[in-house]
Amino acid sequence: MVRVLSGAWRAVAMSIVLGMAAVAATAFGAPGDLDVSGFNAADPVVTNRGKALARPGRSAMTPDAARGVARQADGKLLVAGSCSGLVTTKLCVVRFDANGTPDLTFNPDATQGGLQPDLQAGELIIEITPSQSLFAMVAVQSDQKIIVAGTCSNLTSGYFDFCIVRLHPDASVDTSFNAAGVTPGVATVAPGNFYNVARGLMLQPDGKIVIVGSCGATIVATAMCISRHNTNGTLDASFNPGGAVPGTRIETIGNSNDSYATSVARQSDGKLVVAGSCVHNSNNEFCLFRLSDTGALDSAGFGASGKVITAVNSDEDTINAVVIQADGKIVVAGACSSGGVYSSNGATKFCVARYATNGTLDTAGFNAAAPLVADRGKLMFAFDSDYDGVNAAFVQPDGKLMLAGRCRADPMTGTGVFCSARLLSDGGLDATWGAAGKAIEPNFANQRDLTFAALLQPDGDLVFAGDCFRGAPDAFCVARFTGGPVVPPACALNVDGNGFVDPATDGVLIIRYLLGFRGSALTTGALGGSPARTGTTLETWIAGLNLDADGDGGGARATSDGLLLLRAMLGLTGSALTQGATNAPSATRNAADIVTWIQQAHGAGCLPTS
């Protein structure tokens, strides 16, 4: 029989763990501090610790521009953007080990030829992309192949297209991606007839690739647009199949000719929320629309005919991030201005809005105590300057909202610093993060650290990526800030880590794992909304769980233990829980014992309360 800790001993164990966490926080920095002891900690230049730089382009005049960051299952960090080499500008990627040092196993033969002969191992310029290629974003598939997406010039049309490259983990081009295309390994698409600029990238749980951005509907009108690609790089013709270009969709929002998408999130039901900004009544506003999994506008279920427009400040409101909470609510964040975003003509602040699943502002749950009714459901706040804004947002497993951005940003002087904030679920600032909920890395050499992307690690650490100036044209810059305290989910059986125990996702993942499924066969269609664990990280999590529910001592089996756990998550008890599912006569737990064991071994929040 499996022996479990009593409640008193579990409390003692938890106090020890929390005490150790407090010691670690004291030794290695408080939540929100630059991780100078764990990231690039051996750099001989003390002021570089906590950050790491790379300059793949080597141009003496033109900066390298980082626009994306992603984390592999082994903790290595990928930073992507555009780099100006000796001849032209191309999409490029660098990879760092988890400790912030260059990963020399990435593109290990970098110095052998190419347009940039002094390229170093750990750096990659993707020379096969069409002509001028700009502003790469990056994501990692469950098999650890790397997706790099950006904007590439089209010499035939004279405009720009969305473009995607897939790399093997060692940085070599995966020529099985869009294998029948002009350049195997590279896929391009033009949703609009004119300038198509990619701004957001997302991988669906089924491996399909989604890109959003702005597209030229006409030579003078820019619209929000989206493309979806199959795992082999071809356009997904099942997405908006009746459109002018199946696999893509262009959507105009607002009463002007200017709208663009910056980010996209997928709900647990497969619907896609596309977020950005549009000009409406002469002002830039928050703008969103929602599509079904097949690309149809959700006209009946979301906002006004599938679209939502929200005014936050008096002039320019720009969404830079959208996330879906475990309860399905939609959070958008960005920069809101009373006189021009990041300009010297007004004040720009962090700003956030939260919507119910139908697109109405969550006025009762988010910033609900705001004195002005018109401010409820929305939030704006500044740091210590007139130039602050969010570029990335994340929902932690405990429901808190993490915001990463730039402060003291002024395009006239090219300044900026990394900064972040953490909110409670009701929109209040979380006093355990930084100073009263805000953290800023001021005057790090010269206040020329410009944030463009960020990610939240499973341990709660926050990673920034962007451009940093250190006495030469801007370089790629990645920095890590100490996370925590992050309260883990109440139930360890929330295996995808999204904070919501769901038999249709977590239960299915456990059974598939016990059946021997791994990689995409394990996760396809079985991840909940906003999963914190995917790929190898998810597999490692499940492997660490005691899943012997019937207590037969013979290890966990899908047809007995997995089925018992799934039934318990569904709320079944008594014979409905155990009939045909226990490994008799070796089982040592009856139905009531199994329920008690799940609560003691994995957490009280694993089972439905009614």
Q: For strand 475-481 and strand 160-167, is the pairing parallel, antiparallel, or unpaired?
A: unpaired
pLDDT of residue 111: 64
Per-residue DSSP letters for 104-150?
A: TTSSTTTTSSSS-TT--TTEEE-TTS-SSEEEEEEEE-TTS-EEEEE
What one-letter code names the amino acid at 407? C
The pLDDT confidence band at residue 468, using thresholds 50, 70 and 90, is: confident
Tens-place pLDDT, residues 328-363: 899 999 999 887 665 656 788 999 999 999 999 999
Question: Model confidence at 443, in pLDDT bands (50, 70, 90)?
Answer: low
Query: Contact 86/76 with Cβ under 8 angstroms?
Result: no
Taking the complete model, does pTM exceed 0.85, yes or no? no
Rounded to whole angstroms, the Cα distance separating 176 from 186 reads 10
Query: Model confidence over 105-133: pLDDT tens digits?
Result: 999 988 655 556 678 899 999 989 887 89
pLDDT of the residue at 11? 32
Task: List, as one string, the DSSP characters of 497-524.
Answer: -SS---IIIIIHHHHHHHTT--THHHHT
- Sorting pLDDT into bands at 50, 70 and 90, what band is 2? very low
Cα separation, 425 vs 398, whole angstroms: 9
Contact between 4 and 600 under an 8 Å Cβ cutoff? The reply is yes
**Cβ 315 vs Cβ 340: under 8 Å:** yes
How is residue 300 written in tokens? 């009946």
Strand partners, 351: 334, 380
Q: Token pair of 227, please? A: 């493309």
pLDDT at 89 over 80: yes
CA–CA gap between residue 476 and residue 136 (Å, rounded):
12
Per-residue model confidence (pLDDT) at position 191: 94
- How far is the C-alpha of 538 from the C-alpha of 145, rounded, in Å? 17
> Which pLDDT score, from 0 to 100, does residue 29 have?
74
User: Between the CA atoms of 389, 391, 396 and 402, what dihedral angle is there, to the nearest 10 degrees?
Assistant: -20
Give the separation between CA 153 and CA 160, rounded to whole angstroms.
4
**Residue 23 pLDDT grade (very low, low, confident, very high; cuts 50, 70, 90):** very low
pLDDT of 61 reads 82
Tokens of 202: 């997302």
Q: Which residue has the tokens 């456990």?
A: 510
The Cα 484–Cα 250 span in angstroms is 40
Winning range, highest mean pLDDT, from 58-62, 153-157, 461-465: 461-465
pLDDT at residue 411, as a whole number:
63
Strand partners of residue 403: 393, 421
Q: Tell me which DSSP letter residue 39 carries.
A: S
pLDDT band at 6 (very low <50, low <70, confident <90, very high): very low
Tell me the pairing of strands 272-280 and 259-266. Answer: antiparallel
pLDDT at 17 over 70: no
Instruction: For residue 120, give the nearest of 167, 70, 54, 76 by alpha carbon.
Output: 54
284-334: pLDDT as tens digits: 999 999 999 999 999 999 999 999 999 998 788 999 999 998 788 999 999
C-alpha angle 508-509-512 in degrees, rounded to nearest 5: 85
Q: Average pLDDT in the 499-514 region?
A: 91
Q: Per-residue pLDDT tens for 242-281?
A: 999 999 999 999 888 899 999 999 987 889 999 999 999 8
State residue 52 phi and psi, 5-degree precision: -140, 145
Cα Rg for the chain, rounded, in angstroms? Answer: 24
Most confident stretch, 327-341, 354-368, 462-476, 563-577: 354-368
As a whole number of angstroms, the distance between CA 533 and CA 466 comes to 25
C-alpha angle 34/317/199, rounded to 5°?
A: 70
Q: What is the pLDDT of residue 176?
A: 97
Residue range 477-489: mean pLDDT, rounded: 79
Q: How confident is residue 99, by pLDDT bands cut at 50, 70 and 90? A: very high
pLDDT of residue 114: 54
Pairing of strands 307-310, 283-291: antiparallel
